[in-house]
Amino acid sequence: MEPLASQFEAEAERYHQWRTTLSRAVHEYHDWLERTNQLDVQQSIRFYDLLETLNKGRLLLVFLAEFSRGKSELINALFFSSFKERLLPSDVGRTTMCPTEIFHDPNEEPYLKLLSVETRYRDESIAQLKNMPVEWSRIRLNVDDPKQMRQALSALADTKRVYALDARMMGLIPMFDEGTALKEDDVVEVPAWRYAIINYPHPLLTNGLSVLDTPGLNALGLEPELTLSMVPNAHAILFLLGIDTGVTKSDLEIWDRYVRQGLPAKIAVLNKIDLMSDALKSESEIRSGIQRMTESTSAQLGVPTEKVFAISAREALVGRIKEDQSQVEHSGIERLENYLASEIIPIKQQLLAKAVTSEIGGMMTSSHKSLIGKQQQLQAQIKELSALQGQSQDMVAQLWEHVTQEREQYNAALAEYKMQRMAFSHKKKVVLDTVDPTRLDLLCARSLQAINDSWTTPGLTRGMRELIRLIGDEFDQMKLAGEDTRRLMEGVYDTFRGRFGFVALEFLPLDFEGPRAKLALLALQTEQFCRDPINILMTEKRFMVRKFWRQLIEESRVIFHQARTNTMRWLTDVPLPLETQIRDHKVQLELRLASLQKLKQRDGSIHDELNKINAQWLDAQRQITLITGLIRQVRDGWPSPEGVAAEVRVAAETDAIIPKPQQEYLDTVRMTATARADAGVPFNPAPR
């Protein structure tokens, strides 16, 4: 580990530990459901998918800049300085010629994979090609041999000479100066590779960070997948500029097209502050000049000055190679790393926590409420049996008859519920039909009619507007159908709550705000593409418009799939809390009858039955403590005194008569937890 990057790495390590804790909590909840026979096949699949997201989800930083702004040098300083030399090519002029993704998969040996530029002749996206190993050239990286690493990574700067006709067929003509008249047999230089992937074991990367290094302005626009998917889905964008040039016209074009309207986590990096050094100026004058450039950049880009970082990637790299801490401090890179550690990593943490909450939060809440309801029923049963002590057998028989009638009423309510469940199944089918993938195919075909075979930017605008309108209408229909379904289940629940005292539940509405926001962003990106002078003036734009349209359709499918997944999850979650309480209430009724039957037939004593129920109550309390702790871990990710307090509150909120053995146990839990919370020590009561 590089000691000069300790805070960033420490925060990444903390994030990794948090993610591990979160995964463990999800595993434990899955195991609890399995032990209590509450897990079905569909739920198991949901848990598997969620754990895959937790284990493989990465924090993506995108480096954006025009050529020669020092992206590769900054990446060298952040990740590769332990090799004591430059690994990524960063010579004067164009360096990295293709988008390069850097991460670490510990299940694979270090490698460099390169995707040939000739794949641009075809329709497959980069995401699709990632699943086609035969399309990639793979080079093993020997991390113990810096020379071999440098030689292998130098391929990122490779170019090749092709005829202008081939460049046009691959959609690469926009790389060249606007207005350049190229004949088909002219020879031009293009990148040798379309995309590169580096698997490299750096501590930051191992702990879940990934980096996307993008080429300059013209090359960036050649891959709609970058601008429509990869960049918008990043967790932070580092936008590099040269302090010697400030914000140039091409810098501003990149910012306006790809950054300004996107993520809130936008960071401007003013690189090359070492060029401000001047023997004829004092240190304070140099600092004042850097501050003026920082404020000017902040004003031009519309970002707060605290999100503009003046650094020297070259000084940072050299300082770390030479282990010169003063040079590293002077480079300004540590301030950037501290910001990434304190502001960006928590963003990914929040997103993962939200993903877990969205996927199983409702299930966990249902489990908790079910256990509370079960415990309340046990407390009522304890009170019921305690009142029989010293009473005649006639009182036992009367109570038995009362509970028998209650069971008959409950069974009648269950018969009614079966009819309502059939109505729910019908409404569920209506909702699912609305999000059937084949409907999206029809919508895409209808929107294609708006283009009317006019593969121009106006045609693309018409097609995209029509597609967004059609998908938006579908979302409206889904929401209406979902609201109808929710009202049905609320009515059913109100019946059971009023007649049998079920625990209060909340039925959340079906929400499409996330997919709608992504659709709106697609519309904005399409408008920007169509307003781009390059795409308006370019004579050979049919290829680029088609390619952009295909990527729009691909992104629309992703959004529609997300809406379908959310809908299916919601339809599963809506009846779950009610059906859990229905099942638990039936079990408790049968146990009450069995207990009273024994007393009626003189096969047992009230004392023995109370002891059994006490044991069940304590078991429910242990499970409540377990589930409360898991909910806390999902919410917070690590033990905290606040989490302990939440566990204690669950025990404190019980208002029924608690038998003495249970009261003593709860008093012990409360006293121990309070003492440990005061000391900042986590406490989880062990099963007795």
What is the amino acid identity at position 430?
Answer: V
Please tell me whether residues 320 and 413 are part of one structural domain. Answer: no
The pLDDT score that the predictor gives to residue 675 is 38
Domain boundary among 286, 308, 331: 331
- Residue 357 has what DSSP assignment? I
pLDDT bucket at 578, cuts 50 / 70 / 90:
confident
Q: Regarding predicted confidence, which is higher, 288 or 80?
A: 288
Q: What is the mean pLDDT of residues 558-573?
A: 88
Domain boundary among 584, 617, 632: 584
Query: Among 138-142, 234-238, 264-268, 636-640, whose mean pLDDT is lowest?
Result: 636-640
Q: Is the dihedral of CA 95, 98, 104, 108 positive or negative?
A: negative
pLDDT at 264 over 80: no
Is residue 382, in this structure, part of any structural domain at all? no
CATH number, domain containing residue 252:
3.40.50.300
pLDDT at 536 over 60: no
The pLDDT score that the predictor gives to residue 676 is 37
What is the per-residue pLDDT across 20-66, written as a single tens digit (0 to 9) for each? 888 988 999 999 999 988 888 878 888 988 888 888 778 899 999 88
Range of the domain at 506: 387-584
The pLDDT score that the predictor gives to residue 349 is 83
Is residue 74, in this structure, part of any structural domain at all? yes
Say if residues 1 and 203 touch (Cβ distance below 8 Å): yes
The verdict on pTM exceeding 0.85 is: no
The pLDDT score that the predictor gives to residue 41 is 82
Please tell me whether residues 244 and 144 are part of one structural domain. Answer: yes
Query: Among 192-206, 389-403, 658-672, whose mean pLDDT is lowest?
Result: 658-672
pLDDT bucket at 618, cuts 50 / 70 / 90:
very high
The pLDDT score that the predictor gives to residue 208 is 84
Is residue 313, in this structure, part of any structural domain at all? yes
Say if residues 598 and 609 touch (Cβ distance below 8 Å): yes
What is the per-residue pLDDT across 472-498, written as a single tens digit (0 to 9) for each? 888 888 888 889 998 998 898 888 888
Please tell me whether residues 424 and 531 are part of one structural domain. Answer: yes
What is the per-residue pLDDT across 434-459, written as a single tens digit (0 to 9) for each? 888 888 888 888 887 777 666 677 77
The pLDDT score that the predictor gives to residue 589 is 87
Please tell me whether residues 453 and 540 are part of one structural domain. Answer: yes
The pLDDT score that the predictor gives to residue 91 is 66
Query: Among 80-94, 231-245, 259-273, whose mean pLDDT is lowest?
Result: 80-94
Please tell me whether residues 420 and 519 are part of one structural domain. Answer: yes
What is the per-residue pLDDT across 275-284, written as a single tens digit (0 to 9) for each? 888 777 888 8
pLDDT at 611 over 50: yes
The pLDDT score that the predictor gives to residue 433 is 86
Say if residues 556 and 467 touch (Cβ distance below 8 Å): yes
The pLDDT score that the predictor gives to residue 638 is 42
Domain boundary among 554, 584, 614: 584
Is residue 82, in this structure, part of any structural domain at all? yes
Q: Can you read off the two tokens belonging to residue 523?
A: 């519309």
Q: Calculate ∠ Cα 159-174-132, nearest 5°.
A: 55
Averaged pLDDT of the chain: 81
- The proportion of the chain whose per-residue pLDDT surpasses 90, expressed as a percent, equals 22
Q: Regarding predicted confidence, which is higher, 115 or 496?
A: 115
Please tell me whether residues 314 and 458 are part of one structural domain. Answer: no
Q: Regarding predicted confidence, which is higher, 111 or 595?
A: 111
pLDDT at 304 over 90: yes
Please tell me whether residues 438 and 526 are part of one structural domain. Answer: yes
Is residue 317, in this structure, part of any structural domain at all? yes
Q: What is the mean pLDDT of residues 74-78?
A: 89
Please tell me whether residues 326 and 392 are part of one structural domain. Answer: no
Question: What is the rounded CA–CA span in Å between residue 681 and residue 441?
Answer: 56
- The proportion of the chain whose per-residue pLDDT surpasses 70, expressed as a percent, equals 85
Is residue 411, in this structure, part of any structural domain at all? yes
The pLDDT score that the predictor gives to residue 641 is 35
> Within a 13 Å sphere around the CA of 525, how many CA atoms are in the beta-carbon half?
26
The pLDDT score that the predictor gives to residue 219 is 67
pLDDT at 565 over 80: yes
pLDDT bucket at 639, cuts 50 / 70 / 90:
very low
The pLDDT score that the predictor gives to residue 656 is 34
Q: Is the dihedral of CA 459, 463, 464, 469 positive or negative?
A: positive
Q: What is the mean pLDDT of residues 347-358?
A: 82
pLDDT at 179 over 60: no
Q: Can you read off the two tokens belonging to residue 418?
A: 């079966």
Is residue 344, in this structure, part of any structural domain at all? no
Number of compact structural domains in the chain? 2
Please tell me whether residues 123 and 264 are part of one structural domain. Answer: yes
Query: Is the backbone of residue 13 left (phi > 0), alpha (psi -120 to 50) or beta?
Result: alpha
Q: What is the mean pLDDT of residues 263-271?
A: 87
Is residue 499, in this structure, part of any structural domain at all? yes
Provide CB contacts within 8 A for 79, sequence distance 6+. 102, 200, 202, 204, 205, 211
pLDDT bucket at 123, cuts 50 / 70 / 90:
confident
Residue with tokens 């081939």: 166
Please tell me whether residues 430 and 309 are part of one structural domain. Answer: no
Please tell me whether residues 118 and 182 are part of one structural domain. Answer: yes
Please tell me whether residues 322 and 394 are part of one structural domain. Answer: no
pLDDT at 289 over 80: yes
Q: Regarding predicted confidence, which is higher, 607 or 649?
A: 607
Say if residues 299 and 319 touch (Cβ distance below 8 Å): no
